[in-house]
Amino acid sequence: MVNFNEHFFHTIDSEIKAYWLGFITADGNLRTKPSFLMRINLAGKDYDHLAAFAAHINLNRSPRKYMVGKHECVSLALGSKLLGIDLLTHGIIPRKSLLVKPAITVPQEFITAYWRGCFDGDGSVGIIKAKNALKITFTGNEYMIKGFKDFLTSRGIHGGSISNHSAVMRFSTAGNALPLSITDLLYDGSTVYLPRKRAIVDSFREINVTDHSKEA
The tens digit of pLDDT for each residue in 9-66 reads: 999 999 999 999 999 999 999 999 999 999 999 999 999 999 999 999 999 999 999 9
Query: In terms of Cα–Cα distance, which of 146, 164, 162, 143 is closest to 154?
Result: 146
Measured CA to CA, the distance from residue 186 to residue 112 in angstroms comes to 6
Q: What are the residue boundaries of the structural domains of the chain, listed by start?
A: 15-97, 115-206
Question: Is 9 strand, coil or helix?
Answer: coil
39 and 77 Cβ atoms separated by less than 8 Å: yes
Measured CA to CA, the distance from residue 216 to residue 206 in angstroms comes to 16
Topology of domain 115-206 in CATH is: Endonuclease I-creI (3.10.28)
* 113-171 pLDDT, tens digit each: 999 999 999 999 999 999 999 999 999 999 999 999 999 999 999 999 999 988 899 99
Domain spanning 15-97 has what CATH number? 3.10.28.10
Residue 200 CB-half CA count within 13 A: 19
Q: What is the pTM of this model?
A: 0.94
